[in-house]
Amino acid sequence: MELEQMRQLDAIEQTGTMTAAARQLHLSQPALSRSVQRLEAELGVTLFSREHRHVDLTEAGHTAVDWARQILRDERLMRDAVDAVARRARSLRVGTVAPAPLWRLTGLMVEAFPQETLTSRMTEGDAVVRGMLDGTFDLGIVCSRPTSPLLRSCELMQERISVTLPPNHPLAARRSMRLAELDGGTFLIFSDIGFWRGLVERALPHATLIEQSDRTVFSQLARTTPHCTFTTDAPYLENDPIPGRAVVPLEDAEARATFYAVVRTDATDLALRLFEWIAAQRRVG
CA 13 to chain centre: 43
Amino acid present at 94: V
The answer on 234 and 188 residing in a single domain is yes
Residues whose CB is less than 8 angstroms from the CB of residue 244 and which lie 6 or more positions away in sequence, other chains included = 166, 167
Domain identity same for 240 and 223? yes
The total number of structural domains in the chain stands at 3
Single-letter amino acid, residue 132 = M
Give the rounded percent of residues in the chain with a pLDDT score beyond 90. Answer: 42
Q: What is the pLDDT of residues 72-119, one digit of tens each?
A: 888 888 877 766 665 555 678 999 999 999 999 998 998 888 888 888
pLDDT tens digits along 230-285:
998 886 555 556 778 899 999 999 999 999 999 999 988 889 999 999 998 876 55
What is the average pLDDT across 183-205?
90
At 275 the pLDDT is: 94
Residues 249 and 177 in one domain: yes
Average pLDDT, stretch 165-194?
92
89-93, 122-126, 194-198: least confident range:
89-93
**pLDDT given for residue 243 in this prediction:** 75
In this prediction the pTM is: 0.66
Q: At what angle do helices 3-15 and 29-43 cross, to 10 degrees?
A: 110
Instruction: For residues 277 and 150, state if they share a domain.
Output: yes
For residue 187, the model assigns a pLDDT of: 94
Last residue within a domain, chosen from 68, 88, 108? 88
Read off the pLDDT of each residue in 162-189 and give the average, rounded to a whole number.
93
The letter for the amino acid at 98 is: A
Domain with 184, as residue range(s), is 158-256
Listed residues 88, 107, 137: the one ending a domain:
88
